[in-house]
Amino acid sequence: MHKTIAEATAFAAHFRAALSTLPDCDLLILPPFFCVRPVSDALAGTRVEVGAQDLYWETSGAFTGEVSAAMVRDAGGTHVLVGHSERRHVLGEADPVVARKLRGALDGGVTPVLCVGEMLAERELGNEEAVVASQLSSALDACTADDAARVIIAYEPVWAIGTGRTASPADARTMHRTVRTWFGARFGDSAAGRLRILYGGSARPDNAADLLGTDGVDGLLVGGASLDAGSFAAIARGVPSRSRRGGSG
């Protein structure tokens, strides 16, 4: 919940100016919904895609305050976050709600970025892999292999979001391997090989290169460090090469 339309479009203008200095990677910006169209217009003709931070699973109806996949598309959005840790743990969205939102995104033609991750207490108990596997199973249980090919996964260690703590590259590598292994068991090795898994948890310019150079980390889901265009551009510069299909969002 950051930035007015004027602030968001100024950010887009500054980021657009920095694009020529960035490596050839996929870039995605997810502003508040009312800023999706202005930011999309401000970045028109660039390689930067724009999406929404949330959606509702119905196409229309008496759901005051909610946004459908069709509305996201109409505003110029191509992607949407589903199950972000703040939606789960601050706003109380349970796994069944996340699953319905994922289905709504897929049915509505928007690419879902499914967020999964454990709380600190769950990690301290050694349950982090079970928690993430449960979240994946709930969200993707009704999906076909074709559906799964359209999903991006973002691993968010909740204990490392906004705390200044960051999962080590070894932590990220282990959990991303867990996600890919689960995905392969459910949808096949080919689907697992194509899956893009982002790391989200206090990614900053000073640690982005190490995280992006970690085996199995295909990109970053950037939080607070993305609020400044210069900081976000510095993170994108950490992408090692196009062959790793790195992306920042």
For residue 235, give the nearest of 197, 206, 200 by alpha carbon: 206
Q: Regarding beta strands 79-82 and 152-155, do their DSSP bridges make them parallel or antiparallel, or are they unpaired?
A: unpaired
C-alpha–C-alpha distance, residues 198 and 176, integer Å: 8
Phi, psi of 219 (to 5 degrees): 175, -175
Q: Which residues pair with 55 in a beta bridge?
A: none
Cα separation, 202 vs 165, whole angstroms: 7
Read out DSSP for 56-90?
-SSSSSS-TT---HHHHHHTT--EEEES-HHHHHT
Catalytic residues: 84, 156
Cα distances from 84 to residues 52, 53, 138, 161, in angstroms, run 12, 8, 15, 11
User: Tokens representing 51?
Assistant: 């999406």
Beta bridge partners of 48: 27
Please name which of 222, 179, 208 lies closest in space to residue 27, comparing C-alpha atoms.
222
